Amino acid sequence: MFLGVSKEGSQVRFSVFSEHASGIDLCLFSDDEKKETRIPLFKNNDNVWSVALENIPVGQKYGYRAYGDFAPDRGLYFNPNKLLIDPYARELTSSISDWEDPALNLSNTLDSAPIVPKCVVVFDDEKQDDIKYPYLHKKPQTEWKDTIIYEANVKGFSAQYPELPEEVRGKFLAFAQPQVIQYLKSLGITHLELMPVTTTCGGLQLKKEKGLSDYWGYNPINHFALDKRYGSREDFKFMVNELHKAGIEVGLDVVYNHSGEFGATHNLISYKGLDAPNYYRLTADGELINTTGCGNSINTNTAVVQKMIEDSLRYFATDMGVDGFRFDLAGDCALDENTRFNADGKFMQTVHRIARELNVKISGEPWSAVGGYYRGHMQGFMEWNDKHKEALRRFYRGDENIVPDLAGHISGGEGLYFGQKMSKYIRFVSAHDGFTAYDVVSYNEKNNWANNENNNDGDNNNASAASPNREIAFRRLKSMMVANILSRGVPLICAGDELARTQRGNNNAYCQDNELTWLNWKNFSREQRELYILIRKVIALRSAHSSFANLDVFTGNIVPSNGRKDIEWIRPDGREMEINDWHNSQNHILACVINGRNGEISENKQSHQNKDDDFMILMCGNTYGVINFKLPPPPNSGSWSVVFDTANSRKKINEDGTYSLEPYSYVLLTSKSENSNTRTPLNLLKKKVNER
């Protein structure tokens, strides 16, 4: 069944799904929206209501009104007084800014047409797009192992970017500007992941008089139409074209688990008014099930929702040139009809098939907001790993008994998929949801008072701690971010973390569209510049060395060519760690030697050709003093040299073969191999981190 607006010769057909409606009107609006013309639709055997009309121009504004029972006890909310958005509309006139307007209420007789965005008739022309945007469909197709993700809010990234024209700041077009592309390229970003960009409706708790708004955009009312706050469809295509030309992929954060219609007593905007039993999870007595914490849960098991998800993904991947999708609450989307997780259910099958057919990247959160945690079970997904984030934060806070857990995370060996030997995790220190990386080392508790929820919102468990001084704060920040980039898996950087962005302790800034959340591009301190330069160099190092740009899981097995393990965990006396060392809760040091020939024993055939330098990692939590760490010999002969130390950029190995390891530091050593297949000379990466 085809849904949405389509061309049929000289006619334009409007099609919308509803199994339970008794009638549906197409509502055509004049340009000024003051005149409305209603045209009845006709239902076929597939429960698709449609009509084909002559003389419908591109730009025609429209919506729907649905008739039927208003019976919440049966999950029915038909109310023809409410104008409904076409779930397949490719363009809307606006987002909903006045979400408190009583006309949106589902049960009264107020006409909602003045407040509800109008759908707009638009069509894509692939041939014309290929002429205007020659790189739109020429996707970089960067391998997962080489991917560096940069998560950004469209507005927040560039709202204060001083080098950009005022008219493009906070818009899609900002990411198409040469100076922004150069910034991303110089940092080493390969994949720009944008927070939700489709049209939304803010939550009822957001009070406009308090200056609050739906900044993050996680309350979608449509999965095709771009949010007008960020620009047009043409702007989006131009952005993708320019980023593709520079070799940077574009990914979207998609929200298929709930909608902005909230609960059973709230707004009537689209899905709920067209056919709630087919779009939402309902109890036997018609109540909206809320596994997402947002008032409703989209029912990903019905045919119409599966089709909507598939068509939405296809639209953005083909017409709009998108390279990948990050699924918000992917674990919730994978719940079956009984709200039990199903790794082989309808949602997972649909996404896997689309990912194969469209050759796009798929990642997501392996959990449900109110009860399910499925890390390690989202087969075919790159999973967001919040446990990795927590382990890094706790280690560099100085927590006890965290070393074994952290070792599993940085080596990629935790939570494997049913015996698979690849790390399938997105690694991050912070993301949009929670503290910024700098706030992790600066605040003991959240500071969300500005959200107007009495500081009750946001996570209370942040594994954060205020540092005793600025030097230690930046050392902890550098160490966490470097450890994240060099862990086995796919690293993600939350926009601004490389510049020590702060939200002044707000760990749930979903409603703060202001300078609290916007990146500040002015007046960088020496510490901020040093942080940026270090992160840029470490990303370059990761890209150059297969010991890091690799998804293989370390095994601890012997590499025949040199008789050493692929990874060795070392204690401060230079010997391998033993069982008692792993169970020592007071241990605050984690160190390992990475054998440059580790690919020889990998089950991944591509890794067999990898011949890299040897590396040694020294990680130190809170040891209350300097530790003289005895360095073991490199696996492939040679000697160790210092690549960087987050505590001191000029540190050297002591004459007695030890290294003076300082608290809260991350140190990388290397032994150069003459036969390595490195793509970048290592000495280019060993310059002082305080260079300008």
Catalytic positions are: 328, 365
DSSP 315: I
d(CA 490, CA 412): 10
Q: How far apart are CA 327 and CA 325, in angstroms?
A: 6
The helix or strand, by DSSP H or E, that contains position 29, with its residue range, turns out to be strand 23-29
* Beta-carbon count within 10 A of 163 CB: 12
Question: Rounded distance, CA 360 to CA 350, Å?
Answer: 13
| Number of other residues whose CB lies within 10 A of the CB of residue 411 | 22
Q: Where are the beta strands (DSSP E) in 84-171?
A: 119-120, 149-152
- CA distance readout (Å), 476 to 418, 448, 461: 34, 23, 19
Residue 318 burial by Cβ neighbours in a 10 Å radius (0-12, 13-18, 19+): middle
Residue 26, C-beta contacts closer than 8 angstroms, at least 6 positions apart: 14, 38, 39, 40, 41, 51, 62, 64
d(CA 277, CA 65): 17
DSSP single-letter state for residue 461: -
Q: How far is CA 279 from the centre of its chain?
A: 25
Per residue, the 3-state secondary structure of 556-601, as one string, reads CCEECCCCEECEEEECCCCCECCHHHHCCCCCCEEEEEECCCHHHH
250 backbone dihedrals φ, ψ, rounded to 5°: -120, 125
Q: At what angle do helices 346-358 and 303-314 cross, to 10 degrees?
A: 20
Q: Both tokens of residue 627? A: 């530790």
- Residue 269 and residue 50: Cα distance in Å, rounded? 20
Q: Do residues 624 and 588 touch, judged by C-beta distance below 8 A?
A: no
DSSP-assigned letter for residue 388: H
| Residue 392 phi, psi dihedral angles, 5° rounding | -60, -45
Which residues, 6+ apart, have CB-to-CB distance to 68 below 8 Å? 20, 21, 22, 23, 76, 78
Backbone phi and psi for residue 572, each to the nearest 5 degrees, phi listed first: -60, -20
Q: How far is CA 439 from the centre of its chain?
A: 19
Query: Parallel, antiparallel, or unpaired: how do β-strands 61-67 and 119-120 relate?
Result: antiparallel
What letter represents residue 381's amino acid?
F
Q: Could you tell me the two tokens for 101?
A: 């307007």
| Helix, coil or strand: residue 264 | coil
